[in-house]
Amino acid sequence: MEDIHPGSATSDDPLDISESLVPAREIKQAGQSYVSFDGLLQRPLLLKEDLKEGCGGQLWPAGMVLAKYMLRQHRFSLADKTILELGAGGGLVGLAVASGCEVGPPQIYITDQVPMLPLMKSNIALNNLSRKVKAAVLDWGTTLSDEIPRRPDVILAADCVYFEPAFPLLISTLRDLLGPDSVCYFCFKKRRRADLRFLKLAKRAFQVTEIDDDPEAGTYKRENINLYTIRSKPGTGHHCIDGRDTA
């Protein structure tokens, strides 16, 4: 999938936790990559990869799958939409959408934790997308800051399922962000049985549907990568008060 290969673990993980919680991943050296998404972008993205602040600084397979899906199937359906990427790392998916889809005038927000902020800003600048894309900090499970748009139309999330203790935090943030008309495009690689627990949590909280209009699905499903939409359940009656949902 365009120079992205899952592989072995590293002993330099910033969190000292067992392999049963965090699956093995191939770690690449810091550098820059040109990514055209199999020619879906006329002008390839130039993406800096840097793992010194964590694994989010590398490109991962689900991000490639989600970006290509958005470029193929939603190239002309995102104009005037408020778009936010969760767990963006270097910003692969949000930057691909900004570069190859008809978007705006609202900016696209790519979000992650504080350590990823310089990398996100660097990749925005490298691709001259500062007019279209804004980097912001969003810690899952915490109250949304004022710079995060409430109830964005489209939420993008790729490879956000890898650290089991963070599952409830991600569910909480999705509750805060999903409005009655919002849709989250959610893609992840199932690496271990614990990942299915996230799906169970999500299906209890939201309307989760596997996407069936992607012509490449047969290819990436063989690599245990799946793509879903996540929406609020009809009639759940969620309201946002100070960044928290109440029923």
Q: Which residues are annotated as a binding site for S-adenosyl-L-methionine?
A: 60, 87-89, 112, 140, 158
Min mean pLDDT across 32-36, 209-213, 241-245 is at: 241-245
- Nearest CA to 15 out of 44, 42, 50, 55 is that of 55
Residue pair 35/2 in contact by the 8 Å Cβ criterion: yes
Q: What is the pLDDT of residue 17?
A: 30
pLDDT in tens, 107-165: 999 999 999 999 999 999 999 999 999 999 999 999 999 999 999 999 999 999 988 89
User: For residues 238 and 103, which has the higher predicted lDDT (pLDDT)?
Assistant: 103
d(CA 225, CA 198): 14
Residue corresponding to tokens 């912001």:
136
- 33 pLDDT band, cuts 50/70/90, is confident
Whether 241 has a pLDDT exceeding 70, the answer reads no
210 pLDDT tier (thresholds 50, 70, 90): very high
| 49 vs 228, more confident | 228
Is the pLDDT higher at 143 or at 21?
A: 143
Architecture of domain 54-231: 3-Layer(aba) Sandwich (3.40)
- CB–CB of 161/188 below 8 Å? yes
Classified as helix, coil or strand, 198 is: helix
Please report, as a single letter, which amino acid is at residue 166. Answer: A
* Of residues 130, 102, 127, 101, the one with CA closest to residue 41: 101
Residue in the structure block whose two tokens are 């199932």: 190
- Binding-site members are 60, 87-89, 112, 140, 158
Domain ranges of the chain: 54-231
pLDDT in tens, 35-75: 999 999 999 999 997 756 555 456 789 999 999 999 999 99
